[in-house]
Structure 1
Amino acid sequence: MSVTIGNELILPMKRRRIAFLLAMLCLLLAGVFCWGAYIQWRQNVVQQKLEQARDGAVASLRQVLSGQVKQLQNVVQRPAIVQVLGGGDVTAAAAAVREQFPGTEDVQVLTGDLSAAYADVARSGYARLGLIEAALGGDGVKAWVVRDGTQIGLGMAVMVKLGQAPAVVYLRLPLRGLISVLDAIEVPNSTYLALRQGSYTVVERGSAALASGGEALAKPLGWADLRMAAAVPQLENVPFDLGLLPSLIVAGVFALVAAVLLLVAGGHRMLPRRHGQMADAEQEQVTLRESVMQEAPERAIVLNEENNVALSSSLHLQFNLEALVQPSLFHEDDIHGVVPGELNAGVAKLIGQAIGSAMQAKGLSDIVIGRDGRVSSSELSAALSDGLRHAGCNVVDIGLVPIPVVYFAACHLGVGSCVAVTGWHHPHDYNGFKIVLGGESLSSEAMSDLYQCITNGRLYASVDSGSLSERDVVDDYIQRIADDVQLNRPLKIVVDPGHGAAEEILSRLFKAIGADLVSLYGDIDGVSLIVHPDSDEPGNLQKLIQRVEQADADLGLAFDGDAASLRVVTREGEVILSDSVLMLFATDVLQRNPGALVVYDAECTRNLSDYVLRNGGSPLMWKTGHSSIKAKMRETGAELAGEMSGYFFFKERWYGFEDALYAAARLLEILAQREDNPSQVFAALPHAYFTAQMEQSVEGDAQACVQSFIEEVQRSVEGGVFDGARLFAFDGLRADFTDGWGLVRVSDTASALVLRFEADTQAGLERIQSAFRTHLQALLPGQVLVF
C-alpha cells in the first residue's frame, strides 16, 4: 500500500522496481531511435557528397558534349565543307569533314534515302541507324552513345545539303572524352556513380554492387537519354522505417517517459492526486500506465488471431503515407507514374504489401512477378517482391520478360496471380504495375482499395515472410505457341519490338512457328536510345513501313513496349486498323465455334458487328480497357475480344489475356492459309471513312464534362441533330446513326476527352462531327475544338 508523507507519495518497493525496469526499457528504446537517427544523418552526409560528385560530373559532361556538338555545327557550316557537300560526292565530303574534325574514329556522309545505312544495319547497329534517322528528321546535331559494328563510341549526326538534296553527316568519337570526366571525379567510399544511356552502362565508378539502385538519384544530362546514375548503400535497419526527424521525436518521448519513471522509482516524487479524493486510496490515484500513456505516442497494432497476421503499426509512417503515395498513380486498369518522382522503390514496396494484403483477404498465397527492360524495372521489381513477401506471399520471379509471358506463367504454373512491372507504351521515364489476382485483372474499384489499404495503414505484416524463387518460363511459352500455331508457308516479316523485353524472344518465336524474320527493328544489346515505345506513334510506324519496303517483306508487325498490343502494316505502306485485324480473327474462330461471342470496344468500326453476324457469330460492344474487356469475356464466355488500341484476347486455344505475340502468330497462321497476299486479304475487308483517335484537352473534370454531354444529348434527341441515333452510354457516349457513328469518352491517361468518328461517306462523317461539335462547344466555351 502507498504511503503519503507531506505532499509526497511514496510507492511500495515492488512498484518502484517495476518503474525502474520500465525506465530502463524506455531508455533502451530511446537509444535505438537515436541510433536510427544517427544512421540516417550519416547516410544523408554521404548522399550529399555523392550528389555533389554527380552534379559535378553532369556539368563537366554537358560541357564536353556541348563543345563537341558546337564543333560539328561549325565544321559543316564552313565554306569549304559547304562547297564540297554542294558537289554531291559523299566520299569527298566525308574526307573533308574528317580533316576538319580531328580525333574521329569514323566519318560518313549519307544520302537522304539512307540506303547505305539500311544495307548494313545488322553489322553497324540499330542505335547508329536511329541516330542518323533522328538527325534527318530534326533540327540541329543529335548525339548519343552508339554501337557501330564492334566499336562503341559517341555518335553525332547532323542534317546537311548534299547538292540540293538532304543528307546526313555522321561521325563517331572515342568514349575516352566522356570516361576521363568520371576519372577526375572523386566518388565517396561505398557509393556508386555511372554514366548510362537507356539500359546500357557506358562507364561506372564505385561499388558495382549498388548498380541496381542507381536510378534513384539519377540526373539527366539533357542529351538523348544520357544520365548520371548514383546510389548509396541501403540504410541499416531503422526502427519502424521512420525518418530522421520522427526518429528524434520518438526518442525524445521515450527519454521523457524514462525520466518520469526514474523519479517515480526514486520514491521522492509524487504522482498527481485527484482533487477532492483521499490521497491514500490507491484505486483513485493516477496509475503508472495512465501516466505513461499520457506521454507516449499512441500505437495501434491489431492482431488477426486466426491467421497469426499482424497489421502494421500506425506509427509506421501512417502520418506521411498520403503524401508518399500519390492517388494519381492508381488508374482504371493499372498503376503507373513517373520514376522516381511519383513511383520509387519505397512506394513499390508499399504497393507490394497492399497487393499481398488483398491476396491474404482472398486466401491466395502464391504470385508470379516479371519485369520489362526499363532501367527502373529491376529496382521496382525487387521492392515489389519485398512488399509481397512481407505480407506473407510466396513470390516466383521470372525475370526480364514481356507482359504476356508474365500472364502465361501465372496460368502455366497454376498460380493464378501475377504482377507485371512495366511502363508499357508510356515514355521511358514512366513505370508501373499490371496486376492479376485469382485470375482477374484488377480494375478501378480494386485499384482504389489498394490505395486506401496503404493510406489507411491496413497493410498486413506476416509473422513469417513469404518465400522467393526464380523460374525461367520463356522456353515453355515459345513451345506452347509453337505447339498451337504452325504456318502452312513461310511469310517474310519485319518486326518493331518497341524497344521492349520482347526483343529477346521474337526471333526464336517466329522461327519456331515457321515465319521468315528478315529484319528485327530494334537494338537487342541495349545500347540504344529508349524512344517512346508506342506502336501508335506515327514516326515509329513510318520507320517500320520503310523497313518493310526495303526488305520486300509480306508484312510489318509493331509491338508496344510490353508486347501487349499489335499494329500491322502492309508492303504498300498501309496501316491496317485493329478492327480489321479483329475481323480476320473472328472469321477464323467462328469457323470452329459457330455462334461464338466476339467482344469489341466502343472505338471499333460498326462494320465489325455486321461482319461477325454474317460469319455466324454474336457481336457485343463493351467499354474500352483491358480489365473491362477481360471481365466481360469471363462473364459472357466469349471466345475472342479486341480493342481498337491493338489489344487482342483469345480464349479459344489460349488463356484469354492480352497477348500481342500470340495474336501475331495467329494472324500469320491465317494469312499463310490464304492464296492472296496479305495486302489483298486486308483490301477485301469492308472499309469506311473515319478519323483517327483525337484528344480534346479539358480544363477541370473531364468525367463531369462527358456526363453533361450525355445529359444534354438525351434531353434534345427528339427533333435534334441526334434524332434517330442509337445511344450507348456505358463508356462515355457513342451515337450510332444509319450511316455512321461518333464517340466521346474520358481519356484513361490525361484530363481530356477521346473522340472518334466514322461514316459511309465523307459528307456523313462531317455531319456526325458537326452534331457532336454543336453540343460539345456549348460545354467548353472559349476552347478551340480539335475537330
Structure 2
Amino acid sequence: MTHQFDPSSLREYDIRGIVGQTLHDADAYAIGRGFATRVRATGGSRVAVGYDGRLSSPGLARALVEGLNAGGVDAIEVGLGPTPMLYYAEMVEDADGGIQITGSHNPANYNGFKMVLGHRPFFGEDIQDLGRMAASGAWCDAPAGYVAANKQRAIMDAYVDRLLEGLGAKGKAWRIGWDAGNGAAGPIVDRLVKRLPGEHFTLYTDVDGAFPNHHPDPTDEANLADLKALVAENTLDFGLAFDGDGDRIGAIDGTGRVIWGDQLLAIFAEMVLKDVPGATIIADVKASQALFDRVAELGGKPVMWKTGHSLIKQKMLETGAPLAGEMSGHVFFKHDYYGFDDALYAAIQLIRAADVLGHSVTELRGAMPAMVNTPELRFQVDDARKFAVVDEVLERLAADGADIDRTDGARVNTPDGWWLLRASNTQDVLVARAEANDEAGLDRLLAQIDAQLALSGMERGQAAGH
C-alpha cells in the first residue's frame, strides 16, 4: 500500500491543506502509519492525539488513530483542546510522541497536523520523510498478535491546574477581557477565569469551527476590534486573545493599544531575567530592534533566529534559553515550564508580570520606546519563485556592500533603521517588515524594498497587515 500526499500540504513546520481538496482522511491515515513507523524505530509505542474545534477534526482524528494502530502504536486520545494541551499531554502522559489535528489560524476549510516526537519538534526533513515513506509504502506493520489499547484521557482539568501553577502567589485582582475567537482555547479560558483573582469578561469561548464572530488570528488587528470594545466599555486593565488552536497570543492594554509579540517578549524577558540573570532570550528576525536592545540592557543575551515555532524550539534546545518568542505571538517558556509555545500559559505570565514588575500592563506598554514600523507585510508570489527572489536580493545587496543579516532571508541595517524580506515557509508569500527612527526614514526603507522587488520583476502591491 502506498499513498501520495498533495505536495503543497507537506510544510516546513507541519502538514496543512484544504479539507476535501489537498487534505483527506486518507492523508490522516498515512500520517498515522508513517509516524507510527518513526515512533517504533525509537522503541516507542504510545502517541498522544488531540484535535481543535474545526468541523473536519474529529474525522481526521479517527483516520489518524487507525493509521497509528495499523503501525502497532497505541493512541492516548485527549480529545478536543488547544495545541499546547496536546503538547502537555505528550510531556506528562508517558507518551513517545504527539499529534494535534489543527488548522491553526487558517480559514475554516483548512486543517492540518502538528507533531512532536520524544519531546522534540518534528519538522523539516521529518515531515518530508513521512511523504517518502507514504510514496514507497515503507511503513512498519503492527507486530503479530498486536491488539490496539487506545485510551481516552480527560486531561483538560490537569492542564488548567498546571497553567495556574504559573501564577505563583495570588497577585493583584486585575480586571481582564478574554477573546477565544470560538477556537479550541475557549473551554480552557472558561475554566481559568473561574479560578483567577480579579474580574473577568469573556468573548466567544464556545467552540465553533465556522468561526462566526471573527477569524481567530490575533496578530491581525482587525480581529481585536471586539476585544477593544469590551475593554473600553468595561474599563478593563487589559485584554487577551488567542488563535484557533491556542498557541499564539494577542494582547491589548487598557487604552486599546496592541501589545505585539515582540513587545510581550520584552515584558516577559524582564521578569525571567530577574530569576535567571544573564540568560539567552531568543526572538525571530521580524522582531523590533528595541526588543534586542532591551534584553541586552537587562543583562540578557539577545539572539535573533529564524521564524517558525519548530525552528525556535530547536534553537532553545541548543542554547538552553529559558524564553523565546516570535512576532506572530508564539511565546515559549522553558523557565518553570516545558519550552513549547503556549498562549494560555503566556496569558497567565502576563498577569504574573504585572504583579512581579509592579506596574499595570498599560504602564508596561506605555514605557516602551515609540518605534515607527510597519506591521508584517505579506504579498503573494509563486511558491517556486519566492526563495529565488530572496536569493537575488541578497546577491545584489552583497554586491552593494550593504549591512545584511542572513539569519532568515535578508534583514538589512541602514542609518534609517532596518528592513526585512524573507520567504514564508508555510505559504506562497514573501514577508517584509521595516522599522525606522521616523516616518521619513520608514518611507525610505519601504522604497528600498520596492526597488529590490522591482529588480526581480515584482511589486509589493496591496499587502495585508499583521
Q: Which of these residues, 748, 764, 767, is aligned with residue 425 of structure 2?
A: 748
Say if 2:197 is the partner of 1:520.
no
Q: Distance in 1 between matches of 2:131 and 2:208?
A: 37
Q: Distance in 2 between matches of 1:666 and 1:686?
A: 22
Q: How far apart in 2 are the matches of 1:622 and 1:660?
A: 20
Distance 1:329 1:530 in 2: 27
C-alpha contact (below 8 Å) 1:390/1:465 kept by paired residues: no
Q: Kindly state the Cα deviation for residue 618 of structure 1 after the two structures are TM-superposed.
A: 0.5
Q: Distance in 1 between matches of 2:358 and 2:415?
A: 35
Tell me what 2:111 maps to: 431
User: Which residue does the alignment assign to 2:345?
Assistant: 662
Alpha-carbon distance, 1:675 to partner: 4.7
Shift of 1:730: 2.4
Residue 399 of structure 1 and its aligned partner are, at CA, apart by 0.7
| Equivalent residues of 1:428, 1:530 under 8 A apart | no
- CA contact under 8 A between 2:214 and 2:223: conserved in structure 1? no
Residues 427 and 531, structure 1, Cα contact 8 Å, conserved in 2: no
TM-score for the superposition, normalised by structure 2: 0.94
Q: Distance in 2 between matches of 1:682 and 1:370?
A: 35
For each residue in 1:205-229, what CA deviation from the matched residue of structure 2 results, as whole angstroms up to 9, or x when unmatched?
A: xxxxxxxxxxxxxxxxxxxxxxxxx
2:65 paired residue number: 385
Could you tell me which residue of structure 2 aligns to residue 483 of structure 1?
165
User: Is 1:507–1:517's contact at 8 Å kept on the other side of the alignment?
Assistant: no
**Structure 1 residues 739 and 511: CA distance shift in structure 2, 3 A:** farther
> Could you tell me which amino acid in structure 1 is paired with residue 397 of structure 2?
V
Q: Tell me the distance in 1 between the aligned counterparts of 2:207 and 2:301.
A: 42
- What secondary structure is seen at the aligned counterpart in 2 of 1:550? helix
- Residue by residue, what CA displacement relative to the aligned partner does 1:542-573 show, whole Å, maximum 9, x if unpaired? 12111111121111111000010001112322
**What is the DSSP-based 3-state SS (H/G/I as helix, E as strand, rest coil) of the residue aligned with 2:191?**
helix
Aligned equivalent of 2:286, options 594, 603, 608: 603
SS in 2 for 1:595: coil
TM-score when scaled to structure 1? 0.57
SS in 2 for 1:709: helix
1:756 is paired with a residue of what secondary structure? Answer: strand
Q: Report the identity percentage.
A: 36
Distance in 1, matches of 2:214 and 2:229, equals 18
CA 347–489 in structure 1, closer or farther in 2 if over 3 Å, else same: same
Residues in 2 aligned to 1:741 and 1:414: alpha-carbon distance in whole angstroms: 46
Q: 1:779 to 1:525 in 2, by over 3 A?
A: closer
- Give the CA deviation at 1:710: 0.9
**Distance in 2 of aligned mates of 1:604 and 1:784:** 21
2:355 to 672, 686, 700: 672
- Provide, for residues 166-193 of structure 1, a one-character-per-residue CA deviation record: whole Å limited to 9, x for no partner: xxxxxxxxxxxxxxxxxxxxxxxxxxxx
- Equivalences for 1:258-657 in 2 at 5 Å? 316=1, 318=2, 321-322=3-4, 325-463=5-143, 464-486=146-168, 487-524=170-207, 529=212, 531-657=214-340
Q: 5+ residue gaps in structure 1? A: 1-315
SS in 2 for 1:462: coil
CA contact (8 A) 1:494 1:521 kept: no
Q: 1:347 to 1:526 in 2, by over 3 A?
A: closer
Q: 1:488: how far off?
A: 1.0
- What one-letter code is carried by the residue in structure 1 that aligns with 2:110? Y
- Residues 485-525 of structure 1: CA deviation (Å, up to 9, x unaligned): 14411111111112112111212123333242123344358
Conserved 8 A contact 1:579-1:604: yes
C-alpha distance in 1 between matches for 2:420 and 2:278: 28
Q: What one-letter code is carried by the residue in structure 1 that aligns with 2:295?
A: V
What are the superposed Cα offsets for residues 261-290 of structure 1, whole Å, 9 maximum, x if unpaired?
Answer: xxxxxxxxxxxxxxxxxxxxxxxxxxxxxx
**Alpha-carbon separation, structure 1, partners of 2:338 and 2:267:** 19
The superposition leaves residues 120-145 of structure 1 with CA deviations (integer Å, 9 ceiling, x where unpaired) of: xxxxxxxxxxxxxxxxxxxxxxxxxx
Structure 2: gaps of 5 or more residues: none
SS in 2 for 1:461: coil
SS at 2:141 equivalent: strand
Distance 2:7 2:301 in 1: 39
Q: 2:392 aligns with which of 702, 708, 725?
A: 708
* Mapped partners of 2:276, 2:327: distance in 1: 23
- Render the CA deviation track for 1:652-676: whole Å, top value 9, x for unaligned: 0000000000000000111134554
Q: 2-side partners of 1:556 and 1:749: how far apart?
A: 29
- 1:761 partner amino acid: D
Asked which structure has the greater CA Rg, the reply is 1
Assess if the C-alpha contact under 8 Å between 1:555 and 1:571 holds in 2.
yes
CA contact (8 A) 1:587 1:615 kept: yes
State the Cα distance separating 1:752 from its structure 2 match: 1.9
Amino acid at match of 2:177: V
CA distance in 2 between partners of 1:531 and 1:786 (Å): 22
Query: SS of 1:576's equivalent?
Result: coil
Amino acid of the residue matched to residue 278 of structure 2?
Answer: G
1:47-66 mapped onto 2 (5 Å cutoff): none
SS of corresponding position for 1:763: helix
Letter in 1 for 2:378: E
Q: Map 1:230-241 to 2 at 5 A.
A: none
Shift of 1:340: 1.7
- What is the count of residue pairs matched by the alignment? 459
Pairs within 5 Å for 1:33-112: none
Kindly indicate whether structure 1 or structure 2 has the higher relative contact order, using CA contacts under 8 Å at least 6 residues apart.
2
1:24-59 CA-to-partner distances (Å, cap 9, x unmatched) read: xxxxxxxxxxxxxxxxxxxxxxxxxxxxxxxxxxxx
SS of residue in 1 equivalent to 2:185: helix
The alpha carbon displacement at 1:362 in A equals 2.4
Q: Which digits, 9 at most, give the CA deviation of each residue in 1:700-723, with x for residues without a partner?
A: 511111111111111122xxxx3x
What corresponds to 1:210 in structure 2?
none
